[in-house]
Amino acid sequence: MKILHICRQFSPSVGGLEDSVLNLGRSQRQNLGVDAQVLTLDSVFGRPGKLPHRDMVDGIPVTRIAWRGSTRYPLAPEVLRHIRDFDLLHVHAIDFFFDFLAWTWPFHRKTMIASTHGGFFHTGALRRVKEIWFRTITPISVRAYSRIVACSYSDADMFSKVARGRLQTIENGINQTRFRDAASRTPNHTILAFGRFAIHKRLNLLFELVARLRRNNPKWNLIVAGQDSNLTADDLRAQARACGIADSLRIVSGPGDAELRDLMGEASFFGCLSAHEGFGLAAVEAMSAGLVPILSTITPFVRLMQQGAAGVMINPDDLAPGTRDVEALAASLPQTADTMRARNMDVASQYDWNSVAQEYVRVYQQVLGRSRPRSAMVTAGAE
């Protein structure tokens, strides 16, 4: 079986989508005998320079193609030149590739599935336009896909109307050995946040939370690790100064896995007050390290708590109660740290990429074993 994973960003870019495609492709190639390859764009958003057209990443063959336009909707029609030899196209995220391959389906007629990865509502930018697009264009594009796979239950809720009859939920996994048991063995007052420096992550609220915590206990401090996105490290420093926590914040730009694991070893807590997550990868990875999560009340995080995670949920609109909950939990850590560590690692262990990869292969086999999508784009108006 020859599968082409198509995504706008891939390694060396760092993020939840990139990590998901890497782990899925690697598991399929190494453990399931699938010839999984990746097609992506030839640059990392926000970084200068072009990447090699052909590459190999962790044993996965990668093809990178040129693009133009905005990073919000990068145009790359050259994708059609690279899909001929594949049995199935697995498109990741709802973007240009998703729409373009759908609307050109009458010409290439490839079997396709798509994974949602949060859709395109990660930020409030152009929200009205996005909502109109999602109600009008996306339902038509969906018809070219044999299956739409929601990467989380919040995604499933979002896509339930536009993808009815084709929707299936397969939650993402994590690399179980990457950060396992890496958190500090000594309870402390350090919070770690990691991931893209993006507006929807609402790091400014995390800064405000730390400011509140420090009013009662100046031992609290925060480490933020990741890479520039629609915010830069300088933007974050300015926000921290405005909250009065510049001296208690450390920013680490572009950490590799080894450095990030070391940073986890300095912390007892993980913080993410994000407005939106497709799955919440960083939170699950943090729990696998044994960190105690401090999370916003969005659907993926609520689900983690319902599965037994030990941590604190905070309403971003009212930080005061959450601040008290964090203070109380921190005070209990000398007695409860080992139990909470074990609980969080156990919940994280349920998200295993090998199992996820097997589920996707079953989907591939199912859709390849039957006819093309019942409503081709040339007859989309008939449904």
Rounded CA separation 1/364 (Å): 9
Asked if 98 contacts 105 with a C-beta cutoff of 8 angstroms, the reply is no
Looking at residue 52, what is its pLDDT?
97
Question: What is the chain's alpha carbon radius of gyration, rounded to the nearest angstrom?
Answer: 21
Task: Write the single-letter amino acid at 149.
Answer: V
**Cα end-to-end distance, the chain, whole Å:** 31
Q: Which of 265, 272, 119 is nearest to 195 (CA)?
A: 272
- Sign of the torsion angle spanned by Cα atoms 140, 141, 143, 144: positive
Give the position of tokens 């007859």: 379
Asked if 326 contacts 335 with a C-beta cutoff of 8 angstroms, the reply is no
3-state secondary structure of 235: helix
Q: CB within 8 A of 371, min separation 6: which ones?
A: none
Phi/psi of residue 136, nearest 5 degrees: -115, -55
Domains and CATH numbers, the chain: 2-173+352-374 (3.40.50.2000), 190-348 (3.40.50.2000)
Per-residue pLDDT of the chain (383 residues; tens, 9 = 90+): 999 999 999 999 988 899 899 999 999 999 999 999 999 999 999 889 999 999 999 999 999 999 999 998 999 999 999 999 999 999 999 999 999 999 999 999 999 999 999 876 544 555 677 788 888 999 999 999 999 999 988 899 989 989 989 999 999 999 889 999 999 999 999 999 999 899 999 999 999 999 999 999 999 999 999 998 889 999 999 999 999 999 999 999 999 999 999 999 999 999 999 998 878 889 999 999 999 999 999 988 999 999 999 999 999 999 999 999 999 999 999 999 999 999 999 999 999 999 999 999 999 999 999 655 544 444 443 33
Task: Write the single-letter amino acid at 375.
Answer: S
String of DSSP letters for 216-227: H-TT-EEEEEEE
Rounded CA separation 264/287 (Å): 11
